[in-house]
A and B are shown apart, each in its own frame.
Chain A
Amino acid sequence: MSASSASKPWLRIYVPLTCYFVFMFVPFYWMLLTTFKADHELLTTPNPWWIFHPTFKHVVDLVAGTQYLHWFANTLLVSVGATALSVAVSFLAAYAIVRLRFPGSKTLSAAIFFAYLVPPAILFLPLANVLIALHWFDKLWALIPIYTTFLVPFCTWLLSGFLRTLPRELEEAGRVDGASHFQIMTRIVLPLAKPGLISSTIFCFTLSWNEYLYALVYMFSSANKTITVGLTTELIRGDVFQWGQLMAGALLGTLPVIIIYFFFVEHYVSGMAGALKD
């Protein structure tokens, strides 16, 4: 670093960053502490920011005494299903819009963008009626098509941006070699679209894993709940909060997305930047 611009890097960089990172980590640290604190220590302690009597009791109680593992499996099932369906459907749509440019593709692209801007908070009530009519209420698998309502618009948008960056000559070369449009898509473009597909897969998975409103309104039997809904509806009864178990559940429910995130940081960042650029 040049002497003129970096006379005090600690003041310019490390002090603001430390403040931000403390703010950022505090709730995660608090979650971790509470998970392994004994119940009496949650209430009386010489220092709440430390653990004096670590215990696995909350984790054990959560796993053995509640339906948590079941909710975890539900969340996983729905997230994987919704992600697979959304990425597949979105790739086809994005390919059609960007690479085939059929009559009406511009309108379709705009419509999908508007669907992206429709928040679940506006949709959840009328969608409930649709679900009742279809007899999809309180059916776990119904969350898979429901989650496509926000995943497909987002994913199509992200993939369109990505597919647009691939050179047009690909199709032309393919056509000259006698490949059909469908073959060009599956054999030439699909392998090249891998980074975009990975980005959209991890985004869809994270968004499904974190979803709350739809699962809260549409799933009411305990066996069909997801982690977010199960914790907030079954471990909080009126004013009684089981903080130890709640934080253990929050920690275990946060870990999968954090682990995936750290495996794919680069895809995350480029995907997010790409989604904004378009």
Chain B
Amino acid sequence: MAEAAPALAARTPTLFERLRRAADTPAVLGPLLAAPAVGLLAALVAYPLVFGVWLGLTSATLGNAGHFVGLANFTALFADPTYRAATFYSILYTVGSEALKLSIGLALAMVLNQRFRGYRAARSLMLLPWVAPTVLAVLAWQWLLDPQFSGISWLFERLGLIHHAINFLGTEWNARVSLIVVNVWRGVPYFAIGFMAGLQSIPAELLEAAAIDGAGGWASFRHIIWPLLAPLTTILVCFSSIWTITDFQLIWTMTQGGPVNGTQVFTTLAYQRAIPSGNLGQGAAIAISTLPFMIVLAYFALRAMREK
């Protein structure tokens, strides 16, 4: 190699070699390597996002570009009781399921973080609801919560808890609670695995020192574990809230927003207005109206990530 180098340098470099040498600097090669990703995301994320905001300001329908109508779509939405119902349940669905996922996920992580017989198997099985295709698992839930043939109703009747099968998805509040339970079922593993990583990063000496100082289980949780997990908790909750408040597949599969808009959320309403009804402008306006939530959640997530 060393002997060959002077010979190479003596020859006049061809155009190809000169180009190759020019490309061999971070300032040129970097943008070149990033270009495919940037191109895809610019065309299929950035442009549609901006275009979506524009669409929300027009009277577009399927197959008709419409014209600029200013904030008319938005003022119509705020006066629309269905949109208000969607806002209500989007928030309830998100707050309710985040609170449950956070507490159950943390509890599960604390249990799984211990060494016991079968802990490896338990850790890997725990993730299944998160891995399984949501729509397919949710179909099973829907059939399990059938108003007539539910195995859960059968069990409760046998236990003497109820006398009639529960209409899990057929009444407003039953449906609202059922959807939150199914969302929790799917989302707990995400929190659990996040918290397990967080718990493993807490130095054992810290907890041992606290135990020597006489801190019990609750005291060391309250004063050591919880504060140390706080930034991670914020990150998990913010990310999970972003997915939950814009969740479509779970709700659309199980109730399609019913009964009577009882479980309508932003995304199901946007879909209904835009695709079957063809009112693209209003659908886009509904979708865009979730952006403020996204921005706030992203801000807190980023801040917590810096803290970590």
Query: Would A27 and B248 count as touching, CB distance under 8 A?
Result: no
**Nearest chain B residue, comparing its CB with the CB of A177:** B1
B16 lies within 8 A of chain A by Cβ: no
Taking the closest CB of chain A, its distance from the CB of B58, in whole angstroms, is: 11
Point out the residues of chain A lying under 8 angstroms from B143, CB to CB. 30, 34, 241, 243, 246-247
**Least CB distance, B103 to chain A, in whole angstroms:** 12
B-binding residues in A (CB < 8 A) = 1, 9, 12-14, 16-17, 20-21, 23-24, 26-28, 30-31, 34, 42-43, 47-49, 88-90, 92-93, 95-97, 100-105, 108, 111-112, 114-115, 117-127, 129-130, 145-146, 148-149, 152-153, 156, 178, 180-182, 185, 206, 209-210, 212-213, 217, 227-228, 231-232, 241, 243, 246-247, 249-250, 253-254, 257-258, 261-262, 265, 268-269, 272-273, 276-278
Contact: A103 with B27, CB < 8 Å? yes
Contact: B137 with A28, CB < 8 Å? yes
Across the interface, B151 reaches (CB within 8 A) one of A48, A115, A124, A278, namely A48
Contacts A24-B129, A122-B52, A268-B127 given: A210-B248 contact, CB under 8 Å?
no
Q: Known interface pairs A125-B270, A217-B275. Does A278 touch B55 (Cβ–Cβ under 8 Å)?
A: no
Which residue of chain B has the shortest Cβ distance to A147 in the bound complex? B44
The 3 closest A-B pairs by CB, nearest first: A102-B30, A126-B52, A93-B37
Question: What is the distance, in angstroms, from A248's C-beta to the closest C-beta of chain B?
Answer: 11
Q: With contacts defined as CB atoms under 8 Å apart, how many contacts are there between chain A and chain B in the complex?
A: 268
Residues on B lying within 8 angstroms of A by beta carbon are 1, 5, 20, 23-34, 36-38, 40-41, 43-49, 51-52, 55, 104, 107-108, 111-112, 114-116, 122-129, 131-137, 139-141, 143-144, 149, 151, 154-155, 185, 188, 190, 193-194, 196-197, 232, 235-236, 242-243, 246-249, 253, 266-267, 270-271, 274-275, 280, 283-284, 287-288, 290-291, 294, 298, 301, 305, 308
Q: Do residues A119 and B36 form an inter-chain contact, with CB atoms below 8 A?
A: no
Chain B residues with CB below 8 A from A212, complex form? 134-135, 248-249, 253
Once the chains bind, are A153 and B246 in contact (CB under 8 Å)?
no
* Residue in contact with A182 in the complex, picked from B24, B135, B291, CB distance below 8 Å: B24
Query: Considering only CB atoms, which chain A residue lies closest to B20 in the complex?
Result: A180
> If A130-B43, A265-B124 touch, does A231 touch B49 (CB 8 Å cutoff)?
no
Using known A-B contacts A28-B128, A129-B51, A254-B136, determine if residue A146 contacts B44 with beta carbons closer than 8 Å: yes
User: Which B residues are in CB contact (< 8 Å) with A152?
Assistant: 37, 40-41
Q: Please, how many angstroms separate the alpha-carbon atoms of A156 and B25 in the complex?
A: 21
Chain A residues, CB < 8 A from B247: 121
Q: How far is the CB of B220 from chain A (nearest CB, A)?
A: 12
Report chain B residues within 8 Å CB of A105.
30, 34
Bound: A276/B143 CA distance, A: 34
